[in-house]
């Protein structure tokens, strides 16, 4: 084969799936089993998945916000427990454990890669404090919960992007189909859930669910999916509307 037209001296190893030009090994980009030249592989319409997620790198995830607030709450709660149970050392030790875990959870908000394992250290120290203060197998329950929380934060895709930890493309694609695609459908399904608690909300979630369903297009770039979330929102909204209508008619 001839030389690469863009990189003289580099042998061409194939042709681009989009524009057809020859590319060399230096620039070849493989996306979803198709080879592209360096120019096409960088286009947002070709690598829409990469573009979608690169924009989220370094931006704080919902989990990071939640851990910041939850951690702060545990720090304050733990300190309160320490200072109100100074005479009962067991309570004070448990409070210190909560304080340590809270402080480690709050570091998620900062997004520094070096601090990422802190939550596991916090969970281990807090578990030790619980074991000392309770000295019973019951102390295992909060310890297991803390490790589950730490594990969930560690594996969360959006939080890994916030920490600028590389996420494999296959995992990004899975995440996109679950949460990135058709955000209206996801909003509708969340509102539908809350419509069980708030009367009238089901009308909004029903309309949003229907609009989200009309947006579904698997051929678009990027594809718009989440049919199940949109359908779920519609069905659940109808269900809560019936419940609230029944409640209202019983009162009139």
CB of 38 to Zn ion, least distance (A): 6
14 or 68, CB closer to Zn ion? Answer: 14
In the chain, the largest separation of any two C-alpha atoms, in whole Å, equals 85
29 or 94, CB closer to Zn ion? Answer: 29
Q: Are 35 and 13 in contact (CB under 8 A)?
A: no
Stated as kind and residue range, the H or E segment containing 243 is helix 227-251
Applying CB under 5 A, which part among 10-18, 71-79, 166-174, 244-252 lies near Zn ion? 10-18
CB of 224 to Zn ion, least distance (A): 25
Stated as kind and residue range, the H or E segment containing 35 is strand 34-36
Interface with Zn ion includes 15 (CB under 5 A)?
A: no
27 or 156, CB closer to Zn ion? Answer: 27
Q: Are 198 and 243 in contact (CB under 8 A)?
A: no
Residue from 1, 3, 19, 83 in contact with Zn ion (CB under 5 A): 19
Angle between helices 183-194 and 227-251 (to 10 degrees): 30
Does the N-terminal peptide bond of residue 98 adopt cis geometry, omega within 30 degrees of 0? Answer: no
6 or 124, CB closer to Zn ion? Answer: 6
Structure tokens at 28: 């070849």
Structure tokens at 137: 């197998």
Sketch the per residue contact string, 22 through 51, with Zn ion: x for CB under 5 A, - otherwise.
Answer: --x--x---------x--x-----------
Residues that bind Zn ion (CB under 5 A): 4, 6-7, 16, 18-19, 24, 27, 37, 40
């Amino acid at each position: 084969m001839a030389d690469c037209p863009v990189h003289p001296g580099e042998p061409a190893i194939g042709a681009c799936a989009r524009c057809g030009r020859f590319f060399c090994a230096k620039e070849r980009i493989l996306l979803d089993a198709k080879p592209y030249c360096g120019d096409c592989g960088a286009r947002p319409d070709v690598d829409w998945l990469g573009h979608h997620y690169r924009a989220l790198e370094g931006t704080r995830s919902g989990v990071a916000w939640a851990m910041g607030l939850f951690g702060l709450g545990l720090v304050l709660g733990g300190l309160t427990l320490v200072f109100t149970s100074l005479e009962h050392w067991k309570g004070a030790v448990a409070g210190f454990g909560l304080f340590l875990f809270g402080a480690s959870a709050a570091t998620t908000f900062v997004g520094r890669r070096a601090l990422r394992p802190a939550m596991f250290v916090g969970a281990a120290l807090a578990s030790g404090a619980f074991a000392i203060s309770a000295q019973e197998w019951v102390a295992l329950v909060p310890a297991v919960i803390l490790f589950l929380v730490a594990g969930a934060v560690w594996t969360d895709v959006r939080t890994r992007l916030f920490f600028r930890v590389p996420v494999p493309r296959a995992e990004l694609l899975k995440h996109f189909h679950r949460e990135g695609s058709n955000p209206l459908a996801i909003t509708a399904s969340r509102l539908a859930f809350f419509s069980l608690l708030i009367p009238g909300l089901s009308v909004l979630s029903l309309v949003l669910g229907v609009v989200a369903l009309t947006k579904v297009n698997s051929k678009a770039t990027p594809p718009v999916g989440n049919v199940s979330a949109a359908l779920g929102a519609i069905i659940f909204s109808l269900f809560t509307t019936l419940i609230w209508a029944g409640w209202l008619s019983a009162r009139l």
